[in-house]
Amino acid sequence: MDFYYGLAQIIGIHTLLGLSAYIVLLTGQVTMAQAAFFAIGAYAAGMLTVLAGWHLVPALGVSAILGSITAAAVGFPALRVKGLMLVVATLAFGEGVRLFFFNFDYQVAKGEVKVGPLGGEGFRQIRFFPENGWTTGEVMLFIWIFAIAALALLWWFDRSRYGAVLRAVGEDELAAQSVGINLTAVKVSAFSVGGAIAGIGGGLYAHYTTHIEHANFNVLVATFAIAYPIVGGLSSVFGTVLAVIFVQGFLIEGLRFLGDWRNLLFGALIVLAMNVRPSGFFGKRRA
Amino acid sequence: MLDFIQATSDGVLFGATYALIGIGFTLVFGVMHKLNLAYGAASIGAAYAGLLILGAFWAEAPAWIVFLGAFLAGGLIGWLVYVTCFHFIPSASALATLMATVGMLLLIDEIVVHATDGLPLNYPALFSDVMLHLGDYYLRGDLLLVFTLSVLCMVGLLALLYRTRLGLATRAVAQQPIAAQLCGIRVARVNAMTFVITGLLGGLAGAMIGASVGALSPLLTTPLTIKGLIVTVIGGLGSIPGAIVAGLLVGGFESVFQQFRGVTERDLYVMLLLFVFLFFRPGGIFAAKGGRD
């Protein structure tokens, strides 16, 4: 049973990651920086619970705020450039953050051992869950509370005026601007909401694995973040969840019996899925 | 000062490979207004394919044959990427194409890992024992060859684009695809040819990287993709001279910082360079006036 709980935990965390990219993609911007906000959230929450002895919930709050502030800070200059330039700018930012954590040392002696992030070795011993005696099932529930909250928030956004504004910007910036929508404000707000969600996801991820290092936040993670909403389709948040389950549950866990061949099939299936359904699982068919 | 000049010259010579990759990204973007994220992986994959296929029946092939193998394999892989990621996906679904090229990137990487068990392979080099001494400085013979071959390739590409009918058609499609189609240009064919041409360039770039590093490894893919994209943006999307200048610039820049700040911090400064450009010159070095995104 613990295996399925573990799988559900990973799916919950990746749902948060995917949703953080979903809201940005709604505005028509392709972001490769989600792994960076994920990393910032992970390191912040880890340092607060391990070094400062905080409870996880306020630590996640700080993760969300930090992720959101960083996203807004990146958003302002980066959103001056559009489309594919933004892909590259956010990609470079993501790599920059990864390299920052690669060179980041902040160790504090705690009893016998020194704890804290140590450059390329990473940040070990983020043991909030085991120290407080949480079972796998409880951890899973805890993760899914956040995942469902994020889902509900975005689902509600989609039905509100704000969601309509986001989609208007995504469909046609010129038309949106001409009806009086402030493009920069909309994009930066979507970026910050995405940054907050990614920050929470990162904080949960750090405590789920107990050991994080810079390689956990590479370009591949950023790619996964945008892959979920694109594969799932942008017309509904549930597409993203379905895509996470498809990728994490089926492609990664379900095909484990194929051994080495699984990795080969993984890329090929993404190519195939995009050829067969260019607008994602839940996407509208375009003429 | 001595170190500085030496590091710059080494870096600029190696930067020629970044310029080639940057040209590949920029050319596809210029013609199709789409990003081919599989390009870095395809380039390294082409170098592997050339080496492995040749190695299967000619174990001691001379280095230039291996380079030629990578060049040709690059063209073939470029065409395959076009067919799988671009041809059948409607051009309005920009995100789907982007995602498909990511899938292709993962697929090529995994095929390489699968074929070699993830171990690095030795790659032959030409003139690696030659050293040109200029006073206190020296130029590595293999890097000089990398530079010369890359420059020849760029000249060939420019001649192709500006002196042939295919080049004329390519530029026409880049400018106005619908008008080009009305003039009787087969747009799909021109697009496919663009991928073959960039694939050839990428294959050569992969071979040159293998030759100057001395080995091929799947770990080369991600840094190469990122550097190539940075070069593309610094040079200005769609600008070939821009990609060349930016490639040499990034090569020299990263080599200087590697010399003085170490290999782990080197790329951090390259990212900073990119942000400086995005902030002060978002259109790149050779930005077209009032250019598009």
Given an 8 Å threshold on Cβ–Cβ distance, is B274 in contact with A87? no
Sequence ranges of the domains in chain B: 18-228
Residue of B nearest to A26 (CA): B95
Query: A96-141, pLDDT tens digit by residue?
Result: 898 888 888 888 777 777 777 887 788 888 888 888 888 888 899 9
Query: A206-220, pLDDT tens digit by residue?
Result: 999 888 988 889 888
- Token pair belonging to B290: 């009032």
Q: Report the gap between the CA of A263 and the closest CA in chain B (Å).
A: 6
- Considering CB atoms only, which of A99, A120, A267 is closest to B267? A99
Query: A4-57, pLDDT tens digit by residue?
Result: 888 899 999 999 999 999 999 998 888 889 999 999 999 999 999 988 888 999
The answer to whether residues A98 and A214 touch, using CB atoms and an 8 Å cutoff, is yes
Q: In B139-186, which residue ranges form alpha helices assigned H by DSSP?
A: 141-163, 165-175, 177-182
* CB-CB neighbors (< 8 A) of A264 in chain B: 107, 110-111, 114
B13-18: average pLDDT: 89
The confidence score (pLDDT) of residue B290 equals: 46
**Interface predicted TM-score of the whole assembly (ipTM), two decimals:** 0.81
In degrees and rounded to multiples of 5, residue A115 shows phi and psi of -120, 165
Residue of B nearest to A93 (CA): B271
The confidence score (pLDDT) of residue B291 equals: 43
Given an 8 Å threshold on Cβ–Cβ distance, is A95 in contact with B237? no
The answer to whether residues B231 and B246 touch, using CB atoms and an 8 Å cutoff, is yes
Q: Does A226 touch chain B (CB under 8 A)?
A: yes
The confidence score (pLDDT) of residue A142 equals: 92
Residue of B nearest to A31 (CA): B95
Q: Which of A84, A118, A260 is the best substitution to test chain B (most B C-beta atoms within 10 A)? A: A84
Given an 8 Å threshold on Cβ–Cβ distance, is A87 in contact with B265? no
Q: Report the gap between the CA of A159 and the closest CA in chain B (Å).
A: 23
The confidence score (pLDDT) of residue A173 equals: 86
Question: CB-based burial of residue B123 (10 Å sphere; 0-12 exposed, 13-18 middle, 19+ buried)?
Answer: buried
Across the A:B interface, residue pairs with CB atoms under 8 Å apart total 134
3 state SS of B131: strand
**pLDDT band at residue B3 using 50, 70 and 90 as cut-offs:** confident
* Best CA proximity match to A189, nearest among A17, A14, A15, A23: A23
Query: A164-204, pLDDT tens digit by residue?
Result: 999 998 888 889 989 999 888 899 999 999 999 999 999 99
Q: Does A135 touch chain B (CB under 8 A)?
A: no
Range from A104-113, B122-131, B133-142, B152-161 that averages highest in pLDDT: B152-161
Whether residue B193 is predicted with pLDDT greater than 50 in this model: the reply is: yes
Given an 8 Å threshold on Cβ–Cβ distance, is B99 in contact with A85? no
Whether residue B39 is predicted with pLDDT greater than 90 in this model: the reply is: yes
The confidence score (pLDDT) of residue B288 equals: 57
Q: Report the gap between the CA of B265 and the closest CA in chain A (Å).
A: 7
- Considering CB atoms only, which of A93, A103, A275 is closest to B265? A103
* CB-CB neighbors (< 8 A) of A260 in chain B: 114
Q: Report the gap between the CA of B143 and the closest CA in chain A (Å).
A: 27
Q: Does A235 touch chain B (CB under 8 A)?
A: no
Beta-carbon contacts of B146 under 8 Å, excluding residues fewer than 6 positions away, are B13, B14, B16, B17, B208, B211, B212
**Which neighbouring-strand residues pair with A115?**
A108
CA distances from B32 to A225, A239, A256 (A): 25, 28, 37
Given an 8 Å threshold on Cβ–Cβ distance, is B110 in contact with A223? no
Q: Report the gap between the CA of B86 and the closest CA in chain A (Å).
A: 9
The confidence score (pLDDT) of residue B237 equals: 81
Q: Return mean pLDDT, chain A.
A: 87
The confidence score (pLDDT) of residue A196 equals: 96
Q: Return mean pLDDT, chain B.
A: 86
The confidence score (pLDDT) of residue A287 equals: 35
Q: Report the gap between the CA of A242 and the closest CA in chain B (Å).
A: 17
Given an 8 Å threshold on Cβ–Cβ distance, is A85 in contact with B96? no
Q: Does B116 touch chain A (CB under 8 A)?
A: no
Given an 8 Å threshold on Cβ–Cβ distance, is B99 in contact with A270? yes
Q: Report the gap between the CA of A127 and the closest CA in chain B (Å).
A: 28
Distance CA B189, CA B176 (A): 15
- Token pair belonging to B99: 């995602």
Query: A237-279, pLDDT tens digit by residue?
Result: 898 999 999 888 888 887 778 777 777 787 888 888 888 888 8
Query: B223-252, pLDDT tens digit by residue?
Result: 899 899 999 888 888 888 889 999 999 999
The confidence score (pLDDT) of residue A151 equals: 94
Q: Does B97 touch chain A (CB under 8 A)?
A: yes
- Token pair belonging to B140: 């590595």
* pTM summary value: 0.85
A119-142: string of b/e by CB count within 10 Å (b at 16+)? beebbbebebbeeeebebeebbeb
